[in-house]
Structure formats: C-alpha cells, structure tokens
Structure 1
Amino acid sequence: MRKLVSLLVLTLGFFASQAQTTTASVKIGYADVDYIFSQMPEAKQIDSDLKATQTMLKNQIEGKAQEFQKKLQDYNANLNTMLDAVRQNTERELQQMQQNLEKLQQDAQTTIQNKQTQLMEPVYKKVGKAIEDVAKENGFTFVLNQQIGGLDVILYGDEKMDVSDLVLKKMGVTPAPKPEAKAGTPPKQ
C-alpha cells in the first residue's frame, strides 16, 4: 500500500511539473470523503438499515445455533443408550446442521456486504458528481482523497484546498464543524 501511495505521489508530482511547464498552473485540492459521508443525512439511514439487517441475520444464526446445541446435548445425554443406527443417523444430522450453520454464517457475511454495496452505490455516485462539479466550478485540476485505506495520501494540505465543505454544500448539506485533526492527518493552516 505504501508503494501505491508513493507511486501516486510521484505520478502526481510528475504530472504537476509537466502541467506547469505546458500550462499556467495546476490547482490541486483534497477532500475528506469519510467526513463528507458522515455529514450526509443518508449516512444515518444506511447505518440503521445495515444494523437492522445484521440483527435479523444474527437472530437467525443464533436460532440455528441453539437448535444445534440442543440436538448435540440430547445426543451426548443419550449416547450410551442409543442403537447404532440411531447414533449414526443422529451424527449425520448433527454434521449436516453444523455445515448448514457455517453456510448460514458465510451467507450472512455476503448478504451484509451486498446490502452495504447496494445502499452506498447511489451515495458514492452523488458524492463523486458533487466533487466533479466543485472541481470544475473552482478550477481544480485534481481533487485527491485525504486518506485511502487508512493511509494518508495528503502529507501536507493547506486547509484552503480542502473542498469537503464545498462538496457538502453542493449536495445541499450544511457542514457541521470538523473534529480536531487526528494524528497522521494533514496539518491545517
């Protein structure tokens, strides 16, 4: 990931130097996409929908796990008195229940990921369009994301180049005050 960030910085530096030699100037801004998402009204609804889906799936998994545990306890309690045919049938049944439970857990993960993608796709498009509009309206050549995968992409950024609030205003959202800068975020001037 550090190689990717280094490559991105070098590439932008190259393009910026090339652009400066061929054009008047390059204007680069950055946006804190996580901050933008957190300020959007849709964020609360998406979070609520995801939590509801997680709770529903968790309840289903817990119900199946309880069934499995009860069947296992019955099996262990009656093991000494069971006929071989009944024991083998119960063992197959327990094994199948365990496999079904594992599959249910995997399917739940996939369902949550798909739900998140489904809910976030229109928000990503909305934010992307707003960033594009803000960049064009304010003459930015590039707008970078402040962080990618938890790593800072912007090692230093003049606060005047942060277009996050402009993007929110473009989407009709009144920005709330930003939290104080965390360690590792670009210094604000």
Structure 2
Amino acid sequence: MKKLLLMLMLMAPLATFAQKFGKVNTQTIMQNLPEIAKINGELQATAKQYENDLKSMQDELKRQSDAYDKAKSTMNPTAQKQKEEELNTLYQKIQQTYSDNQQALQKAQQDKMQPVVEKVRKAIENVGKTGGFTYIFEEGAAVYTGTNVEDVTAKVQAEINKMK
C-alpha cells in the first residue's frame, strides 16, 4: 500500500506537466472588434444627448435664478418663499435627471456589451476545447507565467472571425 501511495505521489507531478495552459488578452481582442467601435459611438451619442438635456435644464435654472435675484427686492415674503421652493425643486430635478441618466447609460452599456462579451467568451471556450487546454487565464492576472503557457489571443481572434 505504501508503495502504491509513493508511486501515485511521484506520478502526480507528471500529470501536472501533461496539462496545457494558455493566456489571452481580452482587452486587445475587444479593442479590435468592429462592434466595440459601433457600441462606443452609440453610447457617446446617448451621453451627448443626456449632456445637452442637462445643459438646457441648468440654463433654465440659471435664467430663473437670475430673474428671481433681480425681482427679489420687490417681492413679498410669500412670493419669495414660493419662488425659492420652485428653484429648489428644479435643482433637485436636475440632480435626479443626472443620476437617472448615469444609470441609463450604464444599463445601455451593459446591454450592448453583453452579446460581445458572450461572443468572446464562446471563442475562448472553443479555442480551449479544440486546443486541449486545461486552463486559459487572462493575461496579467497570473502572478507568474512559465514558459509552457501559450498565448492564445490570436487564436481567439481567429475564432471570432470564424463566427461572423
């Protein structure tokens, strides 16, 4: 029994050497995909629209605030308080719109990127299966990479091109 256990312990490192490891740079892959440029353009257009909407709201707040400052001395206290509440409400609406726009932009980014991420993940999986890899790591995530690790970034890019 001891000999069997000793033999298994000696063979364990051999099994480790039989494993095949790969690394991939998904950032490089994503940057080279034409879908990413399109998505970025769409998101920038949406962000610009949100920015323009907020700018017009801010301009309206400034216009009303300036008008209030000019007319404040001739207003009675009740009218002053009412106008200040209106300005405060408009200010809060601007803040809420900004927050809502940020959340909508993040959701749009996630929704648009999900199919691309799935496509890259599927390509990595296909390269892993066809190449007989035990593991494929994200480049830069490993603390140490030995010489027996293959960079499969180009293979994944080729796999994505086959998917088109």
Q: TM-score higher than 0.5 here?
A: yes
Number of residue-to-residue matches in the alignment: 152
In our comparison, the structure showing a higher alpha carbon Rg is 2
3-state SS of paired residue (1:153) = coil
Closer, same or farther: CA 111–166 of 1 in aligned 2, 3 Å = same
**Pair 1:164 & 2:157 matched:** no
What is the CA deviation profile of residues 140-178 of structure 1, one whole-angstrom value per residue up to 9, with x for unaligned ones? 10011114xxxx4354465971111111111117xxxxx
* Higher share in helix: 2
Query: Alignment RMSD, CA only?
Result: 2.1
Identical positions, percent: 28
Structure 2 residue corresponding to 1:67, chosen from 54, 60, 69: 60
Question: Normalising to structure 2: TM-score of the pair?
Answer: 0.85
Runs of 5+ consecutive residues of structure 1 not aligned to the other structure: 1-17, 174-189
2:68 and 2:12 map into 1 onto residues whose CA distance is 75
Runs of 5+ consecutive residues of structure 2 not aligned to the other structure: 1-10
Q: Does the CA contact (< 8 Å) of 1:19 and 1:25 recur in 2?
A: no
Question: Where in structure 1 do 4 or more consecutive aligned residues deviate above 2 Å?
Answer: 18-24, 152-160
Alignment correspondent of 1:138: 131
1:157 and 1:44 map into 2 onto residues whose CA distance is 34
1:20 and 1:116 map into 2 onto residues whose CA distance is 45
Q: Does the CA contact (< 8 Å) of 2:23 and 2:149 recur in 1?
A: no
The 5 A counterparts of 1:1-189 are 20=13, 22=15, 25-147=18-140, 152-153=141-142, 155-156=144-145, 158=147, 161-172=150-161
Q: RCO greater where, 1 or 2, for CA within 8 Å and sep 6 or more?
A: 2
Question: Normalising to structure 1: TM-score of the pair?
Answer: 0.74
